Structure 1
Amino acid sequence: DPKVDVLGLPDWVKFIFLDIGLASIVFTCILGQLTTQVNASHMMIDFINNYFAVFTLYTAMTIEFIGIMHCAYLIKNILSAVSGKPILSNEPPKTGFTFAFYWVRVLMSCAILSFCVAVVFTALLAGDTAVSVKYPSISPPLAVVLLLFFMGVVGTLEAMQIAFFSVAKLPPSQRGTNWFGSKTCSLLFDGNGKNLPTFMIGRQLTVVCSFFLVGSFTSLTIVPGTGNNIFGVSDTSQAFLNYGFQGAVMTTILASIMWQYAASAFPVTFLNSLISFILLIVALCLEGTGICGACWV
């Protein structure tokens, strides 16, 4: 509510920091991600030498074991076949029960992902998402386009991170094969390569900003018990979906993991992309503003 007083700030400041969400974006980016990443890069052993790191590891392993994200492995296998690059693994070939259990989870994950995508796009077209509440001027078809756009931005930035570190090991003559690839490499690796960590800071800010926006497009505003539950699910299921499970699954796979696998298979292709070059400039400019400079303190 613009009429509510917040520290005596003018309306335009409240609009930028609270309505658009810049305050939450910067807070999350610096304290929730960049600060820990910077500290971990300098004190790797100390950072994992605690019980919370163990708890985080086992939580992540449990989620992976359940198989909600296993369709990402199917995407990885497809990209490996297309690129002709074998998947290097220390695990023995899957046989018997292990083989069956793996593919059951892959199929389950594909079904879950399909359901999540259906929920998000059905709600978007019906105007039952948070973006329709926050920005009523955005029509449902435009909301779909914007969701795909921001997911593409996040995915490209995720891919760029993988691609840049992959080509860093290559000779300079093999890094970029067109004008955009050459310019991208010049920006990143010329001199002492200081622009690579700079890009990582700006990239993280852009990703967090995009994810906050994507969250508005994937969060449901359907009130359970009103007879408007999506696909006619129960009130309990609708209440669960209102927490954003469908958005988390869809964006994690389609806006992050899939693009990382693609960049691993085709790093030079992403390096040569005009979109990658533009996003690199944007990330460097964002970092240059100093808005995330506190993470270095």
Structure 2
Amino acid sequence: SGDADVLGMPGWLKTIFLDVGLGMIIFTCQLGQLTTQVNASHCMIDFINNYFALFTLYVAMTIEFSGVMHSSYLIQNILSALSGKPIQTNEEPKTGFTFAFFWGRVLMSLAILGFSLAVIVAALFQGKTMMVVKYPGVPNGASVFLFFLLCSIVGMLEGMQIAFFAVAKLPADERGTSLFGRKTCDLLFKGNGQNLPGFMIGRQLTVVASFFIVASITSMNIQPGSGDNIFGVSDGAQAFLNLGFHAAVVATIIASITWQLAASAFPIAFLNNPVTYILLCFALFLEWTGLCAGAWV
């Protein structure tokens, strides 16, 4: 994009908005997420009173029924046992075929998750992702570290959202039991409470930016038929892996659902984590910059 003329922008500005991707990040965050979330929060019935919302629901239910993400239920059960909090459900206890079908999908999901993670790590160590194309100066080992770091940051932000809403109903003296827990709550709930929605905006911007980078890290750079397929899989399987569904599975379970479940089980522990306070300050700073201030409209 450095040689293309885009609205007469100077080279450094094109690098920031196009090569780095700031333009797409802001566009996705502002129009694709924050605006719809704000509208849905104020017009709940109207937002779902259309066929597209029904279609989206059916797609989500189909994906859940497939069992691809069922390993998250295992994580939920483990965290429930560790926290001593029973899982609230209206479902009847699973028995017979229902029990076998459920846990069979859990095992299948674990196998898919393990294979997907192995593909990502192997491709990163072998330099077979788009990371070497977009950021050729980054060593392969650093790419692996960056992948897990970004997954952890996204996971923390996902968990913080759950933890903040969980403790919002608690008395002020019960929200934090450590220095950073109290500092986090003081900053989050001070004044007229504007910092909580401000965090949501900064959080969303950080999550979107992180996922754009993760997409660059995990996208396969292997041409089927070149004889360089990951793990020696067939060309058809390599073409399927190039679509990136394996990365979506890993990101959804490891960088999102697991952290949300952990925060739901241990909200106070999340608040007491100093990383939570640091990320809260960073999210509020991003909101202060005004990059996504249009969400307030």
TM range (shorter): over 0.9
Cα distance in 1 for partners of 2:2, 2:71 equals: 44
TM-superposed CA distance for 1:101, in Å, is 0.3
TM-superposed CA distance for 1:279, in Å, is 0.3
Deviations 1:30-65 (A, max 9, x none): 111000000111101100111111000010000000
Which residue number in structure 2 is paired with residue 126 of structure 1?
A: 126
SS of corresponding position for 1:92 = coil
Which residue number in structure 1 is paired with residue 256 of structure 2?
A: 256
Report the TM-score, using the length of structure 2 for normalisation. 0.99
Which residue number in structure 1 is paired with residue 213 of structure 2?
A: 213
Deviations 1:99-139 (A, max 9, x none): 00000000000000000000000000000111111001000
Cα distance in 1 for partners of 2:58, 2:189 equals: 37
Cα distance in 2 for partners of 1:156, 1:12 equals: 32
Report the TM-score, using the length of structure 1 for normalisation. 0.99
Cα distance in 1 for partners of 2:199, 2:191 equals: 15
Cα distance in 2 for partners of 1:235, 1:13 equals: 40
Structure 1: where are the runs of 5+ without partners?
none
Aligned partner letter, 2:271: L
Q: Matched residue pairs, number?
A: 297
Aligned partner letter, 1:214: V
TM-superposed CA distance for 1:235, in Å, is 1.0
Taking the TM superposition and a 5 Å limit, the aligned residue runs for 1:56-75 are 56-75=56-75
TM-superposed CA distance for 1:192, in Å, is 2.5
Cα distance in 2 for partners of 1:9, 1:149 equals: 33
Cα distance in 1 for partners of 2:296, 2:191 equals: 21
Which residue number in structure 2 is paired with residue 241 of structure 1?
A: 241
Which residue number in structure 2 is paired with residue 192 of structure 1?
A: 192
TM-superposed CA distance for 1:157, in Å, is 0.1
The answer to whether the aligner puts 1:174 opposite 2:167 as a matched pair is no
Which residue number in structure 1 is paired with residue 111 of structure 2?
A: 111
Deviations 1:136-182 (A, max 9, x none): 10000010111111111000000000000001111111100111111
SS of corresponding position for 1:4 = coil
Deviations 1:6-39 (A, max 9, x none): 1221111111011110011001001110000001
Aligned partner letter, 2:261: Y
Taking the TM superposition and a 5 Å limit, the aligned residue runs for 1:267-278 are 267-278=267-278
Question: Which piece of structure 1 moves more, 51-60 or 2-11?
Answer: 2-11
Which residue number in structure 2 is paired with residue 39 of structure 1?
A: 39
Aligned partner letter, 2:296: W
Cα distance in 2 for partners of 1:240, 1:51 equals: 30
Cα distance in 2 for partners of 1:63, 1:285 equals: 36
Which residue number in structure 2 is paired with residue 5 of structure 1?
A: 5
Which residue number in structure 2 is paired with residue 137 of structure 1?
A: 137
Cα distance in 1 for partners of 2:116, 2:174 equals: 40
Cα distance in 2 for partners of 1:164, 1:278 equals: 14
Cα distance in 2 for partners of 1:291, 1:190 equals: 23
Displaced runs of 4 or more, over 2 A: none
Cα distance in 1 for partners of 2:83, 2:125 equals: 36
Structure 2: where are the runs of 5+ without partners?
none
